[in-house]
Structure 1
Amino acid sequence: MEVRTRAPGKIIFSGEHAVVHGSTAIAASIDLYTRVALQISSDSENGEGLLKLQLKDMGLEFLWSIRRIREMLPDLSAPLPSQPMACSSESMESIAVLVEEQSIPEAKVGLASGILAFLWLYTSIQGLKPATIVVTSDLPFGAGLGSSASLCVALSGALLALSDVTNLDLSSQGWLTFGESELDLVNMWAFEAEKIIHGKPSGLDNTVSTFGNMIMFKSGKLTCIKSGMPLRMLITNTKVGRNTKALVAGVSERTSRHPDAMNAVFSAVDYISKELSTIIQSPVHDDLSVTKKEEKIEELMEMNQGLLQCMGVSHASIETVLRTTLKYKLSSKLTGAGGGGCVLTFLPALLSGTVVDKVIVELESCGFQCLIAGIGVKGLEICFGGSS
């Protein structure tokens, strides 16, 4: 039996940085996915019993004999897929040895934590069965679009789909979704895997990827919201790496130097996120009402970007994207940590494709990567066999 899953990436629509200081933020899923194909095989099918992981986009394959995994994890008990638990430090050390034995190319050394998370998820949910797992992704690695969370969600979903704790019709054609309690289970496993990769993740990225649509969050409380209108963004990856921890610390330092001014900034961001949430959820009746709502969304995005500049998290590469899109009367804002990373540009429903093409040509001539994405799509989806 083969199972395939896909889990979306995410953007922060509004409220990044300010959310750390108590403001409301909105995150949304995007129709750029990480896809996982999982086939569990018998020993005879898979030589001497191998666990294979193929990272298709990178042309990398990793192989472990089941015998070697058993040697390194002798205390591995029967899997309990229904009970997500943290990876113990002993297991972490043993799995790290299995990853080190793979001699990952130096240029790809950042993948090690993701492979560690994969091995932990696999052995925790499926135990010591030989299998082949193929991973592909539309999402740029490390650009703040939730690539690691979507990997953890897609893996957790595939592994759980072939366990006895989920209930899906295996004969169904096309993409299926889990029920609410099963999605909760996927989300908990994905969060534990994210901890292996990031240490102390917020849990937001995996929640958006699992459940899809949009999530409003404030002081740790997450609320799912649904868009009443189709939304499209041009996402520009500046390819400039950034240190999220340092950027967050920089905002806190600025706040301690100018508490009143910065608290006013955070308060304004809170209002922007709440207003965006109201606009996005309200129904639309005709093209005119869509256009009016789009104009308000554009203004709020511009205001949010201005406030992010006040926080000191913009960057020369981000300003280049803002100037370029402004020439075409399009509204943009950074998404995520800032200091590089990605920029969102709102694409109104009636915008001509020719204009979009011109903007992309100009941005790509600066060395940036451009992706067009629908916003607020479904979360984790599953299909069996050859259907899709």
Structure 2
Amino acid sequence: MSSAIDSQFSNVSPSGDFINKSNGIVFTISAPGKVILHGEHSVVYGKLALAASLGLRTSGTLRELENTDDASVIEVHFPDINLHYSFDFKEIQNLLDKPLPVNPDISHFNLEHPERLDHDLHLKNVEGFLSGTEGYHNLSKLKKNSLVSFLYLFTAMFTSLNVSIRPFHFSVSSHLSIGAGTGSSASFVVCLVASFLHYVKLLSKRGNVGGNLSKYGYGPTLLTFESYTARLTEDLLKITSDWSFYGERIHHGNPSGIDNTICTYGSLLVFKKGCPPERKTMDYPLKLLLINTKVSRDTKTLVGKVADFVQRFPEVGNGLLCTMDEVSKNALDCIECLNKADSSCEETAGAFEKLEELSDINHSLLRILGVSHPTLEEIVTILRGHGLRGKLTGAGGGGYATCLVPPSCSQGDLDAVLTDLSNAGFDVKMTSLGDAGVRVDS
């Protein structure tokens, strides 16, 4: 079902085109992961949550293949989950010739309106196609979801377009741990969607397709593509986030929309249930220790645990949730203060000190709600021994702990805490907060 690809490719040409030696397209796009800074669990109850992008990214590379009998495939390679899968190119073309299930009819659908696709029916069609391919039934749930995401998004986005694709190899790798609450699935689907959009741009340029990109019968797609840039236009970012939300549904059923939004736009996101997410800047460079407990957790069980606490002790539980809301608001004020302040002034030091205290407070509140874990408490204790503050992130019950690194922290002090955490059996990554959103890297 799979084949080896050994072609060598060049970089971007002087004209800004993405080409290989055979005049095929090749490019790489990356998207950041995310971390919840404040608002875990309380966001479910309508309280404010803060999410920030990470310096850890997922990268996807699309490389067109020479049009030979040996390369008449669309091949996907996801090395992080050991998945290497090939589709017959003619079978994919046949899929793209079939009309999409849309509401109310195809004349109302185009690339810019994913909400008009009948997603459940399209997903069923994709899964039906895959179930007839060799080896699919032997794959793990994670591999199946990844493969479904790829084919679901590719066919949903390209079926309505009047562009000529070629056989290609598409690989995705990530610095994010899978299933640990750092947005690995959202970063993955954002990478897929942005890669497909960029491919549309390059195909339309190569085919001199101007104006309407849609096939006859579909609603017009009138996208304006700028010349090569490391960032997508605002219109393309919105389309990326919108399509990625539906890609996230394959992995999480009913996602909040936080992860696909932050992985698309980067920086800082303020989120409150029932309200549109609000994008904020993070101009002050914040560094973060991301500490892996290596303990898996069940988000659904942990959310239920909080719900049970609130039901049994309504006044106490609601009081804790309201306090967590105030923590999020205060943390946002501190970040906005850091954005405006001179890095050498006392105001900066004061704002950062408050951020550390708020992390401490938030972790204590989450512990009272019952979503901490002995490994998380051990991490917080080790950090406190070095004068640092830590907190759980995400659902808790394992997963990751985070620690903001003070600007005053010396390399010697940092090395000492990293050594202690490592000796205790924890994996630690040093990363940045507020990293750029999805972008074209090469």
**TM-score, normalization by structure 1:** 0.91
- Which amino acid in 2 is paired with 1:179? T
Partner Cα distance (2:378, 2:139) in 1:
28
| 1:181 shift after superposition | 1.9
Is the 1:152–1:190 Cα contact (8 Å) retained in structure 2? yes
Choose from 81, 85, 96 the match for 2:111. 81
Pairs within 5 Å for 1:49-60: 49-60=72-83
Q: Matched residues in 2 for 1:162 and 1:71: separation? A: 19
Distance 1:369 1:210 in 2: 27
What does residue 96 of structure 1 align with? Answer: 127
Question: Match of 1:192, SS?
Answer: helix
C-alpha distance in structure 2 between counterparts of 1:357 and 1:105, whole Å: 47
- Identity over the aligned pairs, expressed in percent? 30
Query: What residue in structure 2 maps to residue 206 of structure 1?
Result: 260
Larger mean CA deviation between 287-296 and 34-43 belongs to 34-43
Q: Which amino acid aligns with 1:119?
A: L
Instruction: Say whether the 8 Å CA contact 1:294–1:348 is kept in structure 2.
Output: yes
Q: Which residue number corresponds to residue 284 of structure 1? A: 341
Pairing partner for 2:178 from 112, 128, 141: 141
Residue 56 of structure 1 deviates from its aligned partner by 3.1
Greater strand fraction, Structure 1 or Structure 2? 1
Preserved CA contact (<8 Å) 2:226 2:233: no
**Post-superposition offset of 1:99:** 4.4
Tell whether 2:238 aligns with 1:184.
yes
Instruction: Find the aligned partners of 2:279 and 2:327 in 1 and give their Cα distance.
Output: 17
Q: Does 1:342 align with 2:397?
A: no
What's the offset of the Cα at 1:107?
A: 8.7
8 Å CA contact 2:60, 2:173 repeated in 1: yes
- Partners in 1 of 2:313 and 2:125 — Cα distance? 48
Match of 1:216 in 2: 270
Within 2, Cα distance between the matches of 1:76 and 1:3?
29
Larger radius of gyration between Structure 1 and Structure 2 = 2
Q: Residue by residue, what CA displacement relative to the aligned partner does 1:132-178 show, whole Å, maximum 9, x if unpaired?
A: 111110100100000000111111011011215654445x4xx6111
Residue 76 of structure 1 and its aligned partner are, at CA, apart by: 4.4
- Residue 425 of structure 2, aligned match among 354, 367, 382: 367
Structure 2 partner of 1:34: 58
**CA–CA separation in structure 2 for the residues paired with 1:156 and 1:219:** 25
**Distance in 2 between residues matched to 1:307 and 1:270, nearest whole Å:** 11
Residues 73 and 91, structure 1, Cα contact 8 Å, conserved in 2: no
One-letter identity of the residue aligned with 1:133: F
The yes-or-no answer on 1:306 pairing with 2:306 is no
**Partner Cα separation in structure 2 for residue 239 and residue 15 of structure 1:** 23
| Equivalent residues of 2:287, 2:404 under 8 A apart | yes
* C-alpha distance 241-301 of structure 1, shift in aligned 2 (>3 A): same
Q: How many residues align?
A: 380
Please identify, of 56-65 and 20-29, the stretch whose mean Cα deviation from structure 2 is larger. Answer: 56-65
CA distance in 2, matches of 1:27, 1:105: 36
Question: Shift in Å at residue 344 of structure 1?
Answer: 0.4
Distance in 2 (CA, whole Å) between partners of 1:89 and 1:196 is: 10
Amino acid at match of 1:243: D
Task: Give the 3-state SS of the residue equivalent to 2:200 in structure 1.
Answer: coil
1:328 maps to 2:386: yes
**Looking at both structures, which has the greater relative contact order when contacts are Cα pairs under 8 Å and sequence separation is at least 6?**
1
What letter corresponds to residue 19 of structure 1 in structure 2?
A: V
Give the SS at the match of 1:345. strand
Q: 1:102 to 1:369 in 2, by over 3 A?
A: farther
Describe the shift of the 1:297–1:176 C-alpha distance in structure 2 as closer, same or farther (beyond 3 A): same
Distance in 2 separating the partners of 1:132 and 1:277: 42
Equivalent in the alignment of 2:155: 123
Aligned to 2:247: 193
Q: Report the AA paired with residue 53 of structure 1.
A: V
Mapped to 1, the partners of 2:412 and 2:129 lie a distance apart of 51
Amino acid at match of 1:335: T
Gaps of 5+ in 2: 1-24, 101-105, 160-164, 202-221
Per-residue deviation, residues 62-108 of structure 1 (Å, max 9, x unmatched) = 11112344567773459943232456444433433554545379795
Give per-residue Cα distances to partners, 1:111-143, cap 9 Å, x unaligned: 321221111111222347422111110100100
Moved more, 84-93 or 101-110: 101-110
1:41–1:130 contact (8 Å) kept in structure 2: yes
SS in 2 for 1:331: coil
Aligned pairs for 1:127-276 (under 5 A) are 127=159, 129-164=166-201, 166-170=223-227, 172=228, 176-221=230-275, 222-276=277-331
SS at match of 2:145: helix
Confirm whether residue 20 of structure 1 aligns to residue 74 of structure 2. no
Q: Which moved more, 1:373-382 or 1:95-104?
A: 95-104
TM-score normalised over the length of structure 2: 0.80
1:112 to 123, 136, 144: 144
CA distance in 2, matches of 1:272, 1:161: 40
Where does residue 65 of structure 1 map in the other structure?
88
Structure 1, unaligned runs of 5 or more: none
